[in-house]
Structure 1
Amino acid sequence: MAQAVHGVVDAFVDTTDAQALRRHEVVLGGERDEDLLVALLDEVVYRLDVADEIPVDVELAPLLGGLRAVFHMADALSLPVTGAAPKAVTLHGLSFAHGTDGWSCSVTLDV
């Protein structure tokens, strides 16, 4: 899930020289792993929209029925833009599964 966060962020901004300035902690709930993945990525989109900040790192810890996420946030406006910023996470084509090569996911983002 942490790699999915990095993938989303790296799709629209260059974080090479980004410095984390703040921490943002959130507890997310969900019945399935897919629900937690969507909630996690929704939080990334929400923080970008309301605070112009993006995670340059994330720490995740499982909880009973959920997930605790600690985001290390940077100012999005200070970083080079490389693509369109996401506006929403959709359920279309959503997958999250464990296979022989490890975990993989597929998420569609509206821009």
Structure 2
Amino acid sequence: MPNSGHRAVPHPADVTIEAWGPTCEACLGEAISALVDSFADLSRAQPVDTVVVDLPAGDAADRLVTALDHVIYLLDTQGLIPLATSVDIGPATLRLTMSVARIDSVELIGAAPKAVSLSGLECTQLGGQWRCRVTIDV
């Protein structure tokens, strides 16, 4: 398995994503990519802006939910979709720096996310690897 990555796994009605990386930041960035890849083809997307947001930083699972919730919020309220994301975790904040495109400029290949499910949520460090798993309501 590569040092960092993500994938979607079968789920009866929603989308379950898994992500992994050598740091919590890398894992969260991969989780955001997995969320976007679950419903959009970004191969022709062009960035239109950079969005920087500071969010409250709790434990690892809280950071995962907060980051994914914010991506869903951007989709719903501003019609923006992340093309690339940098994640920085500070003592009290989680900073997301996202290169974004307009949602109407990408090809949708699946159902758009509606919410992050707390059921079965995982975000842990095992050895030198961070792993997370989360189900997304569509």
Pick the TM interval, shorter chain: over 0.9
The Cα shift of 1:20 comes to: 1.1
**Equivalent residue number for residue 30 of structure 1:** 57
Amino acid at match of 1:51: Q
**Could you tell me how far apart the structure 1 residues matched to 2:126 and 2:42 are?**
30
What residue number does 1:85 align with? 112
Overall identity of the aligned pairs, in %: 36
Question: What's 1:59 paired with?
Answer: 86
2:132 to 102, 105, 109: 105
- Which of the numbers 40, 51, 56 marks the counterpart of 1:13? 40
| Corresponding letter in the other structure for 1:103 | W
TM-score by length of 1: 0.94
- TM-aligned CA deviation for residue 101 of structure 1: 6.7
1:75 paired residue number? 102
TM-score by length of 2: 0.76
Gaps of 5+ in 1: none
Q: Is the 8 A contact 1:36 1:66 kept in 2?
A: no
Pairwise CA distance, 1:65: 2.2
The 3-state SS of whatever aligns with 2:113 is coil
CA RMSD of aligned residues (A): 1.2
Q: Check if 1:94 corresponds to 2:125.
A: no
Shift, 1:66, TM fit: 2.3
Query: How far did residue 106 of structure 1 move?
Result: 0.7
Check conservation: 1:52, 1:77, Cα contact below 8 A.
yes
Q: Is the 8 A contact 1:58 1:69 kept in 2?
A: yes
Q: Report the count of equivalent residues.
A: 111
Unaligned runs of 5+ in 2: 1-27
Out of 10-19 and 94-103, give the one that drifted further: 94-103
Q: For residue 40 of structure 2, what is the amino acid of its counterpart?
A: V
Q: Which amino acid aligns with 2:98?
A: F
Per the alignment, in what secondary structure is the counterpart of residue 93 of structure 1?
Answer: coil
Query: Which stretch has the larger CA shift, 97-106 or 72-81?
Result: 97-106
